[in-house]
Amino acid sequence: MELNREQLLAAYHQMRTIREFEERVHREFTAGAIPGFVHLYAGEEACAVGVCMNLSDKDYIASTHRGHGHCIAKGCDVKAMMKEIFGRQGGLCAGKGGSMHIADMSKGMMGANGIVGGGPPLICGAALTAKTLKTGAVAVAFVGDGGFNQGTTLESMNLASVWKLPAIFVLEDNGYAESTASSWSISGEPVKRAAGFGIPGEQVDGHDFFAVYEAARRAILRTRAGEGPSFLHLKVNRYFGHFEGDATTYRAPGEVEKLRAERDCLLIFRKRVEQSGLLKPQQLDAIDQEVVALIDAAVAEAKAAPQPPAAELLTDVYASY
Amino acid sequence: MRRDPRVILMGEDVAGGMGAPGEQDAWGGPLGVTKGLMPEFGRERVLDTPISESAFIGAAVGAAATGLRPVADLMFIDFMGVCFDQILNQAAKLRYMFGGKATVPVVIRTMFGAGFRAASQHSQGLYPLFAHIPGLKVVIPSSPYEAKGLMTQAIRDDDPVIFCEHKAMYDDQEEVPDEPYAIPFGEANLTREGDDVTIVAIGRMVKFANEVADKLEKQGISCAVIDPRTISPLDDRTIIESVEETGRCVVVDEASPRCGMAADIAALVAQNAFEALKAPVKMVTPPHTPVPFSPALEDVYIPGPAQIEAAVRAVTERV
């Protein structure tokens, strides 16, 4: 692991941005300011950032319904994201998609997806494009422990192997698919399931940015070199419910508090870089403050942004009709 | 495919023989339609797939969104069920949901139609389900000339296109220009003019409608026959203008009657040409049943010239 100071600061900045973004969206949603559904990524930041720091704009990712973290980690504009979640003009998708369909093709972010398992086939396609046009790009499909059982995911793993596509399947196993435990709903072991398709993979602690970054680096290098698809099983936890409004009674009492105290990826990162002298606490504190200001500004701008004009209901259904 | 290296073809057995010890390009599709493409363009551009529509139809969508112009073969339209999400919720919606910042130039070609004794899971005409979905275009050629021009347009079009080929028409023959040509979408073809009744027919029914028109002309009934070519976008203007002249409309479609194209077109005519109508719009469709296997039953199922003629007589003999 040879991450330099700049990269470490960038990693922390991105993870902190995701954390503050999600915590703020949680508060705004609770206050009734945000329409529709949101599914928050807080707790899982090391996964998105650890993987996406190994990618560039020319690489593709597809996310799940829990897409804000991947969107930020892939370099999408935070203020445009916030406007999108509020459904306003200037949103990343002009207010037409919302939280569940947040996307930016120019950053290779092929969207959050309202359909569980919707991403993996799209990623096979992006990988096919990369292979056919010889761009050297890779395509990463993030799936949850729920999506890991969806037929589309399994078919995509087979197809990617058979076609030897530069596709990477990343299972973010946060322990719950909606309200049921992944330990119950996934038959067999994920790494063995991938191996059943001939796809090599490893299980990683998803709270440890460095472990995720390194495993992702190995997987992406191998796949980019043309050796076929790779798999990562990231074991992690989410702090909030499946959706905002989820009473989460299926969780044990004190479960989340314990995770925040003992398994928080930002605290783990800070401890590691401070103890090893790689970064100083003041540098990280400065980032904390900067990010809070950024998110404050994003929310203020989103709330002040106009609604999309009614005429835009009818636009962009087709390129031409 | 010669013109644009981004155009690729994928599907089950579109070449055939992949990984097998015998002939490569063994099938060229189940009815040989794509034979010869793999030898010319190679297996990098003509891809056999495993039997996993969800994955490869979705891959075609993802590839289209990222710079290729794929043609994906959904072997039978009846198989839409196993990959419907990729078409309904992904292909059709990416552009709109992403605020116009995605383009999905995918063509999904698929076989439809009864007459092969292939029974209920291989004989349907399910295209109305696609026409119902905003974001998709749906094309149904009625002849070889139409097929070439419309397929050319489909590949050049920047929207997702469902290209529906009637399986009983592959052996139809007519003069087709060698050079490329494109037939625009949303422009119906008035295949013959007429004064007494407007027949709107889809796919294989266009042929039958013209047979009926030939026969009835000799008996003093003059039929206009309109082939919409594309049911989405639908050229309702041409249909309505014709009905405003004739005052009578018969719609012939092989798709199931409930919520089908015949009902859709009939409603448009009723809403927009009511004052001109001298009789109710008549729909000629199969009954509300699955397609039966027994040839005797299937032949009753499929709308044919006799039913079309009866419908025309019903609207023209009305006082």
Which residues of chain A does B159 touch, with a Cβ-Cβ cutoff of 8 Å?
A: 318-321
Query: What are the Cα distances from residue B142, in Å, to A271, B234, B253?
Result: 70, 15, 12
A107 near B CB under 8 A:
no
Query: Could you report the per-residue pLDDT of B229-275, keeping only the tens digit for each?
Result: 999 999 999 999 999 999 999 999 999 999 999 999 999 999 999 99
Interface with chain A: mutation pick from B97, B231, B235, highest number of A CBs within 10 Å: B97
Q: Tell me if B7-169 shares its fold with B189-316.
A: yes
**Is B288 assigned a catalytic role?**
no
| Residue of chain B minimizing CA distance to A103 | B98
State the pLDDT at residue A158: 98
A80 near B CB under 8 A:
no
Q: Which of B47, B54, B64 sits opposite A151 (nearest CB)?
A: B54
Cα–Cα distance between A218 and A220 in angstroms, integer?
A: 6
Interface with chain A: mutation pick from B18, B98, B156, highest number of A CBs within 10 Å: B98
- The CATH H-level (homologous superfamily) assignment of domain B7-169 is Thiamin diphosphate (ThDP)-binding fold, Pyr/PP domains (3.40.50.970)
Which residues of chain B does A94 touch, with a Cβ-Cβ cutoff of 8 Å?
A: 99-100
Contact A129 B100 (CB under 8 A): no
Which residues of chain A does B138 touch, with a Cβ-Cβ cutoff of 8 Å?
A: none
Contact B56 A315 (CB under 8 A): no
Q: Would you place residue B224 in the very low, low, confident or very high pLDDT band (cuts 50, 70, 90)?
A: very high
Inform me whether the pLDDT recorded for B82 exceeds 70. Answer: yes
A311 near B CB under 8 A:
no
Q: Which of A60, A93, A151 sits opposite B98 (nearest CB)?
A: A93
| Residue of chain A minimizing CA distance to B158 | A319
Structure tokens at B28: 């060229």
Query: Could you report the per-residue pLDDT of B268-318, keeping only the tens digit for each?
Result: 999 999 999 999 999 999 999 999 999 999 999 999 999 999 999 999 997
Query: Could you report the per-residue pLDDT of A6-46, keeping only the tens digit for each?
Result: 999 999 999 999 999 999 999 999 999 999 999 999 999 99
Contact B99 A97 (CB under 8 A): yes
Tell me the domain boundaries of chain B. 7-169, 189-316
As a whole number, the mean pLDDT across chain B is 97
Inform me whether the pLDDT recorded for A152 exceeds 90. Answer: yes
Query: Could you report the per-residue pLDDT of A49-107, keeping only the tens digit for each?
Result: 999 999 999 999 999 999 999 999 999 999 999 999 999 999 999 999 999 999 999 99
Q: What percent of chain A has pLDDT over 70?
A: 100
Which residues of chain B does A133 touch, with a Cβ-Cβ cutoff of 8 Å?
A: 6, 67-68
State the pLDDT at residue B190: 98
> Quick one: average pLDDT of B142-146?
98
As a whole number, the mean pLDDT across chain A is 97
Q: Would you place residue A229 in the very low, low, confident or very high pLDDT band (cuts 50, 70, 90)?
A: very high
Question: In chain A, which among 110-139 make CB contacts under 8 A with chain B?
Answer: 110-111, 113-115, 118, 120-126, 128-130, 132-133, 139
Structure tokens at A316: 């962009």
State the pLDDT at residue A285: 98
State the pLDDT at residue A1: 58
Inform me whether the pLDDT recorded for B319 exceeds 70. Answer: no
Inform me whether the pLDDT recorded for B66 exceeds 90. Answer: yes
| Residue of chain A minimizing CA distance to B187 | A321
CATH fold for domain B189-316:
Rossmann fold (3.40.50)
Q: Would you place residue A2 in the very low, low, confident or very high pLDDT band (cuts 50, 70, 90)?
A: confident
Q: Which of A156, A315, A321 sits opposite B100 (nearest CB)?
A: A315
Burial code (b: 16+ CB inside 10 Å, e: under 16) for B252-286 equals bbbbbbeebbbbbbbebbeebbeebbebebbbbbb
pTM to 2 decimals? Answer: 0.96
Domains of chain A: 5-306 (3.40.50.970)
